[in-house]
Amino acid sequence: MLVLPGFKGYKEKELRRETDRLIRSHLRSRLNRVRDNLKKIYQKIVDMKATEIWTEMDRLLAKAGRVEQKIRHASYVYSGFFNVVKVDERRLDEVVEQDLKQLESMKSVENKAEAFNKEVSAGKLENARAYIEGLDEALETLEKEFDQRSDLIGKTLEG
């Protein structure tokens, strides 16, 4: 197979596409764990009858779901061997760099959710709005970075 013209480049692109799929799958998995954690927090808040923050938690859960769906349905980095669209190889590295930023942002979301869970589990709700706002901002950052990733993919496919 290595004697086929272009096969090496094709395999490299396939490996990058698989890496892209794995990174997205990893992000989705982590975000789903955060959503599960947020659902548990929400249930604890309901059990504590803290009605004043239910709506804010609903919005936060909806945002986490929207970001997860965006990641789930995003385009792949590489369009396929027989496709007429050519991939700008130089930009693929920029996409990988953007994915690394997203992983860092995901870590921030996870850390904030875990700290919020500890507070609520201890029966403390006085900082609940601050945690919700912090998580909202962290999810917003993750979503913006993912949007930037989509822009990079568009440029990568344009060449």
Tens of pLDDT, residue by residue, the chain (159 residues): 444 444 455 566 677 677 778 888 999 999 999 999 999 999 999 999 999 999 999 999 999 999 999 888 876 654 543 344 455 667 777 877 888 899 999 999 999 999 999 999 999 999 999 999 999 999 999 999 988 877 776 665 554
Per DSSP, 83 falls in state -
**The pair of three-digit structure tokens given for residue 129, joined into one six-digit string:** 């709005």
157 vs 82: CA distance, rounded Å: 14
Task: Tell me the C-alpha distance between 105 and 145, whole Å.
Answer: 9
